[in-house]
């Protein structure tokens, strides 16, 4: 059996000893030193040995330390008593592990002395009861936030989503609590309002997941970022349409009410640059990159530095293979502006595919439609397999009830791309997956509507990453 020495001279120490008595498994023997004897109910005499003496006395503590203890736990109210007790223990046992309940800023360089700050623990516990603050496991794992529980609010973007379509990269939903009952997760399980999710993953990733779960409508481009980024490569853009392109981008920026950063690379036309500078104000930042090396790396740095949540590009830039690959690797939504009026767009059109990637971006679709006042249209090509599509339609119908947003489901026996080409104006919303980075020539014989996004190149499109 392992021997543990407890030195107690405080109310916290008293409560600690009582908790040990109530939870002891019988595998340890506890030697308790107190300056005044306190009677404890249900203390097993064979497991608990009580001593009454001043623990700052070197002579008395040295006699007790003749036994071999695995560790010492110190819980005392007086700072000087704590420091003298540690000094006395160290004079006898050089390597014995000492756990100290600390209420002060004691400096200690001994690796075998663990200082547990009681004020930090109390503040952390109180923080757990604050709304919209993640609850992090303190005594499990390394205690840095790799285990977290999150309450799913009624209007969350995760409500009524199947676990199988939630991209869980470097994090996992390991348990669901519903009506105070544990539900083990599986791919077909659907998240419901007021579910309590237990998450495991990298702390930095879980912070992003937490924001995503708590996010409700009206916050796009969150959780991807907070600002808009208009990217202009003057080696690619069409100078004859650049003025209209920027005007439409600024219009979108005003509707979303976020800061806009206009980034110009490979500057070559002074007149165009001066026109762009006319848009500069407190909410529009102009950033010109005069050096043309490491542009991809600088692009990623800007995404992080400016906390970008939506990248705006022209259709010429999105059609560029290298640029499109770079945009995909940034993992933020991309708004491709076409040569049509943007202010006249009323409908957000979504083509259902055989996969369920659309369900992964459904909350973002509702968020965009809410902020931009778009009608949502789901195009279901009935000549294709329907099982996955029906589950996606059910999911959208659930969300439409939650967010009080009507959706229109259009069943077509003809390819929806041909139907949409006959429309005057709309914006297409689709998932931004790796297959969209392939060169267009490889999609000529494809029946995948996502790979054929370029067939609707003359219309505005928003490409939304499936990752959080």
Comparing C-alpha atoms, which of 186, 463, 197, 211 is closest to residue 326?
463
More reliable by pLDDT, 204 or 362: 362
* Domains of the chain from N-terminus onward: 2-122 (3.40.50.720), 130-214 (3.30.70.1450), 227-319 (3.40.50), 347-465 (3.40.50)
Q: What is the pLDDT of residues 219-274, one digit of tens each?
A: 788 878 889 999 999 999 888 888 888 888 888 888 887 889 999 999 988 888 88
Q: What is the pLDDT of residues 136-180, one digit of tens each?
A: 666 666 666 688 888 888 767 788 888 887 878 788 999 999 988
Q: What is the DSSP string of 417-464?
A: HHHHHTSS--EEEEEE-GGGGS-GGGGTT---TTTTGGGGTTSEEEEE
Comparing 118-132, 165-179, 258-272, 334-348, the range with the smallest average pLDDT is 118-132
Comparing C-alpha atoms, which of 183, 129, 200, 193 is closest to residue 156?
193
pLDDT band, residue 198 (cuts 50/70/90):
very high
- Give, for 13, the enclosing helix (H) or strand (E): helix 11-23
Give the pLDDT of residue 180: 83
Mean pLDDT of 61-82: 86
Quick check: 238 and 203 in contact, CB under 8 A? Answer: no
- Our measurement of the distance from residue 237's CA atom to the centroid of its chain's CA atoms, rounded to an integer in Å, reads 34
Mean pLDDT of 94-108: 82
Quick check: 64 and 72 in contact, CB under 8 A? Answer: no
Comparing 103-117, 122-136, 250-264, 384-398, the range with the smallest average pLDDT is 122-136
Give the pLDDT of residue 295: 92
Quick check: 33 and 8 in contact, CB under 8 A? Answer: yes
Q: What is the pLDDT of residues 34-59, one digit of tens each?
A: 888 788 877 888 888 888 888 888 88
Give the pLDDT of residue 468: 59
Q: What rounded mean pLDDT belongs to the chain?
A: 85
Mean pLDDT of 306-310: 92
Give the predicted TM-score (pTM) of the model. 0.63
Give the pLDDT of residue 110: 75
Q: What is the pLDDT of residues 17-38, one digit of tens each?
A: 888 887 765 678 888 888 887 8
């Amino acid at each position: 059996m392992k021997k543990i020495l407890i030195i107690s001279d405080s109310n916290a120490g008293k409560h600690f000893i009582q908790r040990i008595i109530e939870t002891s498994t019988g595998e340890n023997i506890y030697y308790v030193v107190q300056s005044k004897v306190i009677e404890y109910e249900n203390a097993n005499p064979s497991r608990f040995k009580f001593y009454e003496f001043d623990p700052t006395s070197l002579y008395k503590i040295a006699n007790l330390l003749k036994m071999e203890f695995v560790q010492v736990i110190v819980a005392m109210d007086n700072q000087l008593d704590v420091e003298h007790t540690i000094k006395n223990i160290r004079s006898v046992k050089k390597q014995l592990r000492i756990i100290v309940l600390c209420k002060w800023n004691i400096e200690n360089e001994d690796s075998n002395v663990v200082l547990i700050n009681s004020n930090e623990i109390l503040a952390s516990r109180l923080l757990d009861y604050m709304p919209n603050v993640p609850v992090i496991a303190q005594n499990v794992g390394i205690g840095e936030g790799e285990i977290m529980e999150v309450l799913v609010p009624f209007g969350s973007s995760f409500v009524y989503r199947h676990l199988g379509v939630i991209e869980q990269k470097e994090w996992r939903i390991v348990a669901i609590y519903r009506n105070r009952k544990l539900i083990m997760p599986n791919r077909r399980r659907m998240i419901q309002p007021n579910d309590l999710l237990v998450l495991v993953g990298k702390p930095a990733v879980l912070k992003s997941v937490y924001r995503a779960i708590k996010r409700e409508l009206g916050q796009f481009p969150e959780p991807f970022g907070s600002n808009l980024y208009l990217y202009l490569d003057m080696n690619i853009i069409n100078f004859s349409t650049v003025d209209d392109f920027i005007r439409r981008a600024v219009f979108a920026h005003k509707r979303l009410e976020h800061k806009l950063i206009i980034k110009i690379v490979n500057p070559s036309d002074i007149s165009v640059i001066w026109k762009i500078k006319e848009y500069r104000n407190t909410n529009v930042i102009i950033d010109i990159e005069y050096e043309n090396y490491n542009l991809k790396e600088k692009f990623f740095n800007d995404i992080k530095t400016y906390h970008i949540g939506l990248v705006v590009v022209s259709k010429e830039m999105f059609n560029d293979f290298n640029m499109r690959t770079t945009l995909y690797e940034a993992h933020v939504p991309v708004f491709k502006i076409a040569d049509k009026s943007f202010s006249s767009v009323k409908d957000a059109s979504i083509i259902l595919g055989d996969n369920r990637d659309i369900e992964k971006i459904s909350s973002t679709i509702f968020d965009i439609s809410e902020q931009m006042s778009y009608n949502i249209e789901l195009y279901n090509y009935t000549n294709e397999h329907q099982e996955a599509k029906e589950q996606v339609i059910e999911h959208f119908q659930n969300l439409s009830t939650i967010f009080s947003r009507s959706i229109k489901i259009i069943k077509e026996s003809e390819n929806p791309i041909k139907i949409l080409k006959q429309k005057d104006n709309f914006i297409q919303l689709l998932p931004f997956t790796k297959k969209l980075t392939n060169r267009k020539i490889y999609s000529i014989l494809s029946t995948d509507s996502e790979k054929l996004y370029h067939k609707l190149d003359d219309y505005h499109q928003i490409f939304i990453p499936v990752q959080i």
